Amino acid sequence: MTSPAASALILFDGVCNLCNGFVQFVIQHDPTGRFRFAALQSAAGQAVLATHGADAAAIAAEPESVLLELDGKLYSHSDAVLRIAQELGGPWRLLLLGRLLPRAWRDAAYRFVARHRYRWFGRQESCWLPTPELKARFC
Q: Where are the domains of the chain?
A: 8-137
Strand segments, DSSP code E, in 40-108 are: 66-70, 73-75
Q: What is the mean pLDDT of residues 23-30?
A: 92
Which residue from 49, 20, 11, 35 is spatially nearest to 126, judged by alpha carbons?
20
The 3-state DSSP class for residue 99 equals helix
- Computed over every residue of the chain, the mean pLDDT equals 83
Give pLDDT, residue 5: 46
Percent of the chain with pLDDT over 70: 80
Give pLDDT, residue 79: 93
User: Has residue 70 got a pLDDT over 90?
Assistant: yes
Task: Give the full edge-to-edge strand order of the sheet including 66-70.
Answer: 35-39, 8-12, 66-70, 73-75
Express each pLDDT in 82-123 by its tens digit: 999 999 988 888 888 888 999 999 999 998 998 888 899 988
